[in-house]
């Protein structure tokens, strides 16, 4: 497409050339061969100079800058990767250390708990034994106290009955009769 474009323009230019060339009478400058040597010499000098500048200085300079940047970026990326790997490793180490510590703490806790459990169990047992002994003593005491109290109650009741009879009848009742009457009512 570019070619056909160029050709069309070229023909156009050609038409102009003839018309204008005929009008002014002078040669069309691009086709005036008297100018060719000057242009060729200038072009040769300019282009060789450009080629030398470009190949000796310009391209190594700009290429060097681009390469330096590329290297810097790659170096930085590698450095970042290295640091990331290191931090990953550190994280992993920290995690395993933490897991270890946790397991150890758990073990120690279990052990301590069992030890304490055993100790408290033993203490409880001895305490319970002691308490049982005390309880038995207390029960025995209660039984004797109660028996005593009951016998006291009979005396008090007989005395009270004798006194009540004396007050009511004015005679002192026979102690045996009172006792048997109290016994009968206690039983009843």
Partner 1 sequence: MKIDPIHQFNIEPLFTLGHIGNYTIAFTNSSLYMFIAVLLIALLMLASGRELVPGRLQSMAEISYEFVASTIRSNAGADGMKFFPLIFSIFMFLCVSNLVGVIPYTFTIASHLIVTFAMAIMVFLTVLIYGVYKNGLKFFKIFVPSGIPIYILPLVMFIEVLSFFLRPVSHSVRLFANMLAGHIALKVFAGFVAMLGFSLGALGWVGGVLPLALTIALYALEILVAFLQAYVFAILTVIYLNDAIHPGH
Q: 67 in the Ramachandran plot: left (φ > 0), alpha (ψ -120 to 50) or beta? A: alpha
* 105 contacts partner 1 (rule: CB under 8 A): no
d(CA 181, CA 161): 9
Q: Residue 50 or 156: which CB sits closer to partner 1?
A: 50
Please name the residue that has the structure tokens 């102690």.
175
Q: Which of 1, 22, 25, 37 binds partner 1 (CB under 8 A)?
A: 37
- Segment lying near partner 1 (by CB under 8 A), choices 55-63, 114-122, 148-156, 158-166: 55-63
* 71 contacts partner 1 (rule: CB under 8 A): no
* 139 contacts partner 1 (rule: CB under 8 A): no
* 66 contacts partner 1 (rule: CB under 8 A): yes
CB of 80 to partner 1, least distance (A): 16
Question: With contact defined as beta carbons under 8 Å apart, do 21 and 28 qualify?
Answer: yes
Angle formed at CA 155 by CA 150 and CA 158, multiple of 5 degrees: 125
Question: With contact defined as beta carbons under 8 Å apart, do 170 and 183 qualify?
Answer: no
CB of 59 to partner 1, least distance (A): 6
Closest by alpha carbon to 162, among 176, 152, 150, 151? 176
Q: Which of 18, 32, 86, 183 binds partner 1 (CB under 8 A)?
A: 32
Please state the φ and ψ torsions of residue 149, each to the nearest 5 degrees: -60, -40
CB-CB neighbours of 178 under 10 Å: 20
Give the three-class secondary structure for 32.
coil
- Segment lying near partner 1 (by CB under 8 A), choices 59-67, 94-102, 137-145, 166-174: 59-67
Question: With contact defined as beta carbons under 8 Å apart, do 183 and 154 qualify?
Answer: yes
Q: Residue 8 or 107: which CB sits closer to partner 1?
A: 8
* 22 contacts partner 1 (rule: CB under 8 A): no
* 38 contacts partner 1 (rule: CB under 8 A): yes
How many residues interact with partner 1 (rule CB under 8 A)?
49
* 3 contacts partner 1 (rule: CB under 8 A): yes
Q: Residue 49 or 138: which CB sits closer to partner 1?
A: 49
């Amino acid at each position: 497409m570019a070619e056909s474009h160029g050709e069309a323009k070229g023909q156009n230019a050609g038409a102009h050339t003839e018309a204008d060339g005929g009008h002014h009478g002078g040669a069309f400058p691009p086709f005036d061969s008297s100018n060719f040597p000057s242009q060729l010499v200038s072009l040769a000098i300019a282009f060789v100079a450009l080629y030398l500048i470009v190949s000796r200085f310009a391209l190594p300079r700009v290429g060097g800058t681009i390469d330096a940047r590329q290297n810097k970026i790659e170096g930085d990326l590698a450095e970042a990767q290295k640091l990331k790997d290191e931090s990953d490793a550190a994280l992993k180490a920290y995690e395993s250390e933490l897991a270890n510590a946790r397991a150890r703490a758990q073990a120690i806790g279990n052990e301590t708990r069992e030890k304490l459990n055993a100790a408290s169990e033993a203490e409880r047992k001895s305490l319970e034994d002691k308490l049982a002994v005390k309880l038995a003593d207390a029960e025995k005491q209660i039984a004797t106290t109660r028996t005593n109290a009951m016998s006291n109650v009979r005396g008090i009741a007989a005395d009270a009955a004798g006194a009540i009879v004396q007050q009511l009848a004015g005679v002192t009742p026979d102690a045996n009769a009172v006792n048997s009457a109290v016994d009968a009512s206690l039983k009843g």
